[in-house]
Amino acid sequence: MPEIISVAEARREETVGREVIVRGWVRTRRDSKAGLSFIEINDGSCFGNVQVIAESSLPNYESEIKRLSPGSCVSVAGLVKSSPGKGQATEIQAAEILVYGFADAEKYPLQKKGHSFEFLRTIAHLRPRTNTFGAVARVRNRACHSIHQFFQEQGFLYVHTPIITASDCEGAGAMFQVTALDQSGKEESEKGVKSVKSGGNDLSKDFFGRPAFLTVSGQLEAETFACALGKTYTFGPTFRAENSNTPRHLAEFWMVEPEAAFFDLWDDMELAEGLLKRLFGDVLQYCPEDIQFFNQRIDKTVVETLEHIVASEFLRVSYTDAIEILRKSGRRFEFPTRWGNDLQAEHERFLTETHFRQPVILYDYPREIKPFYMRLNDDGRTVRAMDVLVPKVGEIIGGSQREERLDLLERQMKEQGLDPQSYWWYLDLRRFGTVPHSGFGLGLERAIQFITGMANIRDVIPFPRTPGNAEF
Q: Does 395 bind ligand ATP (CB under 6 A)?
A: yes
| CB of residue 453 to ligand ATP, shortest distance in Å | 17
Q: Does 271 bind ligand ATP (CB under 6 A)?
A: no
Complete DSSP assignment for 169-196: GGG-S---EE--SBTT--SB-TTS-B--
φ, ψ of residue 314 to 5 degrees: the values are: -75, 135
β-strands 36-42, 164-165: how paired?
unpaired
Residue from the set 396, 429, 448, 454 that interacts with ligand ATP by CB under 6 A: 396
- CA-based nearest residue to 440, from 176, 226, 246, 278: 226
Which span (86-94, 315-323, 391-399, 409-417) binds ligand ATP, by CB under 6 A? 391-399
Name which of 48 and 258 has its Cβ closer to ligand ATP: 258
Integer Cα distance of 64 and 94 in angstroms: 14
Which residue spans within 5-142 are E strands per DSSP? 19-32, 36-42, 50-55, 73-82, 90-101
Q: Which residues 429-448 are close enough to bind ligand ATP by CB under 6 A?
A: 441, 443, 445-446
157: enclosing H helix or E strand:
strand 157-158
Name which of 237 and 420 has its Cβ closer to ligand ATP: 237
| CB of residue 459 to ligand ATP, shortest distance in Å | 13
Q: Which residues 54-113 are close enough to bind ligand ATP by CB under 6 A?
A: none
Number of residues in contact with ligand ATP, rule: CB under 6 A? 16
Looking at beta carbons, which residue is closest to ligand ATP?
Answer: 443
Q: Does 397 bind ligand ATP (CB under 6 A)?
A: yes
Residue from the set 127, 142, 240, 367 that interacts with ligand ATP by CB under 6 A: 240
Kindly state the greatest CA–CA separation across the chain. 85
Name which of 129 and 240 has its Cβ closer to ligand ATP: 240
The distance from CA 52 to its chain's CA centroid, rounded to whole angstroms, is 35
| CB of residue 335 to ligand ATP, shortest distance in Å | 13
How many angstroms separate the Cα of 21 from the Cα of each of 28, 36, 63, 67? Answer: 19, 20, 21, 21
Q: Does 255 bind ligand ATP (CB under 6 A)?
A: yes
Name which of 25 and 314 has its Cβ closer to ligand ATP: 314
Integer Cα distance of 29 and 51 in angstroms: 9
- Reported residue count of the chain is 472
Q: Which residues 150-179 are close enough to bind ligand ATP by CB under 6 A?
A: 172-173
Q: Does 258 bind ligand ATP (CB under 6 A)?
A: no
* Contact residues: ligand ATP, CB under 6 A: 172-173, 240, 249-250, 253, 255, 395-398, 441, 443, 445-446, 457
